[in-house]
Structure 1
Amino acid sequence: MMPDLGNYAAEVLTAYALSVGLLVGLLVLSLRRSRKVSAQLAEVEARKDRADV
């Protein structure tokens, strides 16, 4: 069910679409950054383990 938005339907739907798009973009950037940082951490830990031996 979609409420009747009257004369402002285009503006409201555009705002919703932009908001969802920004949220998806932030999610994608966060996940990419998380993978990159996890890989860097694994590399640092591997170097530390080699140095301890």
Structure 2
Amino acid sequence: MMPDLGKYATEVLLAYGVSIGLLVVIVALSMRRARKVRAQLDQVEARKGPRK
């Protein structure tokens, strides 16, 4: 089911690979940052004490 890319197949597939790789890195960094921020928020809320 691969389309015929002609003489530019290597470049096109490389571009797709790099794009997918960058998306994976961005998602991973976002998830890591979200965990870090969530932990900091939990610490701040724990110091604050219970709400009234």
Q: Deviations over 1:31-51 (max 9, x none)?
A: 00000000000000000017x
User: How well do the aligned residues superpose, as a CA RMSD in angstroms?
Assistant: 1.3
- 2:23 alignment partner in structure 1: 23
**1:10-49 alignment to 2 at 5 Å?**
10-49=10-49
Gaps of 5+ in 1: none
SS in 2 for 1:4: coil
Q: Normalization by structure 1: what TM-score?
A: 0.92
Q: How many residues align?
A: 51
Q: Normalization by structure 2: what TM-score?
A: 0.93
Structure 1 segments of 4 or more deviating over 2 A?
Answer: none
Gaps of 5+ in 2: none
C-alpha distance in 2, partners of 1:8/1:30?
33
